[in-house]
Amino acid sequence: MLNLDHIDLTISGLQAHYRNGDFTPAQLVAALNAKADSLGDNPIWITRLSEAQIAQYLAYIDSQGQADLPLYGVPFAIKDNIDLAAIPTTAACKAFEFTPDDNATVVAQLIAAGAIPMGKTNMDQFATGLVGVRSPWGACRNALNSDIISGGSSSGSAVAVALGLASFSLGTDTAGSGRVPASLNNLVGLKPSRGLLSCHGVVPACKSLDCVSIFALNVDDANQVLDVATAHDRNDPFSRKAHFANGPRYYRAETRRRKIGVPDKASLEFFGSDEAESLFNHFVANTLSIDHDVVEVDFTPFLQAAKLLYEGPWVAERYLATQPLIDANPEALLPVINTIIGGGKHPRAADAFAAQYRLQALKAAADAVLADVDAVITPTNPRAYTIAEVEADPIALNSQMGYYTNFMNLLDYAALAIPVGFFANGVGFGVTLFHHAQRDKDLLSIAAQLQNRLEIPPGCGHSPFKVQGQTTSLPPSTWVDIVVCGAHLDGLPLNWQLRERGAEFVARTTTSDNYRLFALPGGPPARPALLRDADASTAIEVEVWRLPADAVGTFIAEIPAPLGIGKVELADGRWLSGFICDNWGLDGAKEISSLGGWRAYIANAG
């Protein structure tokens, strides 16, 4: 049986393990299931798939191969209000249970990309709650301290990743359910812009506001899952197209200082937790302000908008989603869920319009605040309560947990939670970055820079690997020279992949005379293939870029077949790591060696 303590479960880490032949996806699945069996009675799962049920997914990825699947062999968990074909969906309500014939759109996309579903996770019933204790299956306990709430409603999805039972997971986020559990369990929680991830096949909470969210071990993983999962879906009337490409992200080489807003002191609220206040202030003063200009912003319109979610008519949407069950069999719901959702019977149409008018005015004011900053950063949750405290005062304390999250979908913003520290009781403390919809990639870029500076081990620290999935055996000052010959050249379409990892330009030179250059079919962007040939007599123009050693792994992981990194001989006799191509990948390629380099080919083609 595999020793999971020595396995890097990040996406790039697993890709490297598979390339090296360290183990197979089937062996990993067996080890993860054995670990889940050993964890006792923490109700993380509502339905955990058997190895026999997972066999079909393993057979699929074996038939495709690693080169063609960006999430090849990556295990993931699914919140139990998101459909997985042939597996019951419950939304944590046994009377509501049904077995879907098809996958939710987002699940289908991830499986097609090679990800392996491990099971359906526990949650606050009907996605109503931010605490993780509102389930007939029992309170899902925090991965770092079993006495503290795990956060909800996507509790099991967060705990599964934090405990090392999956590389990433899907949750949903209407009022903060994809961010609060991330914070308390020391994870990244991405709440994408509304509509980027299809909600077809998702049991709605508030259909006009719901988002499928992503829990991940680091920002890079969240970004990769977002890239696979984002797609316009005609089956979802709230779906919309992304206005961004794959990037930018990671650390920005130009080190441009951003203007980052934080709530004004009058608006910051920690509900009596001096420790949470100290953690946030320490992060702002000692991490955020190093690379960015921090300004206080008027947080009033955001807080006023947040009150509309449960004090306004949007709770009627929750009632509408469960109306057949709650009308016919209200006892099927937990008492606290029945109380909250049952209140949705009463708002009138006039109340809905009045609330929309109020929300529009607040959005105008909030948008004016965002116009002056690159992002706003808040605490993700104001404090961490024990399970006992929440059970004694379930509605008031749950409301407090949403102080910094409830407004996000009402105002149509993208948000990203990242871990930045720990409470004395061991559970995580995080912050959330947000800005306008379609700014997801900008938030990921800023967050990656912060994560790289903090270097907090993810989840329970079960992995010995640093934030971006690389070992810390090399000092940060170590560099690796990379030879590039095509789309990664300075000013060309993929050069940002070097720059945003902190790469520095070294020199423009040529290979030795033993190389041939080809233009591969496909694109955009057009891609070259550099091939060593002892009988050749052409030197090919290349550039040398110096890349931080701890960023090399994520850079290599993005190189698609048939390209790879090998040793390239330069005109001065040095052999450096650089782009090469396998012979089998040259089918349909056009040789352009006579032009002497990629820039000449681009100019000639244009």
The answer to whether the beta carbons of residues 134 and 390 sit under 8 Å apart is no
Phi, psi of 519, deg, nearest 5? -100, 120
Dihedral of alpha carbons 234, 85, 209, 348, sign: positive
Q: How far is 190 from 249, CA to CA, in rounded Å?
A: 14
Q: What is the DSSP string of 200-247?
A: TTB--SSTTT--EEEEESSHHHHHHHHHHH----TT-TT----S--S-
Residue type, 469: G
Which residues does 265 contact at the CB level (< 8 Å), separation at least 6?
296
Q: How far is 277 from 243, CA to CA, in rounded Å?
A: 36
Q: ω before 181 within 30° of 0 (cis)?
A: no
Catalytic residues: 79, 153, 177
3-class DSSP string for 247-298: CCCCCCCCCCCCEEEEECCCCCCCCCCHHHHHHHHHHHHHHHHHHCEEEEEC
Helix (H) or strand (E) holding 563: strand 563-569
Q: What ranges in 514-579 are assigned the alpha helix state H? A: 552-557
Question: Closest Cα to residue 184, out of 377, 551, 459?
Answer: 459
The answer to whether the beta carbons of residues 94 and 104 sit under 8 Å apart is no
Q: How far is 405 from 46, CA to CA, in rounded Å?
A: 26
Rg (CA), the chain: 25
Pairing type for strands 590-591 and 375-379 reads unpaired
Which residues does 262 contact at the CB level (< 8 Å), separation at least 6?
284, 288, 294, 295, 296, 297, 376, 377, 378
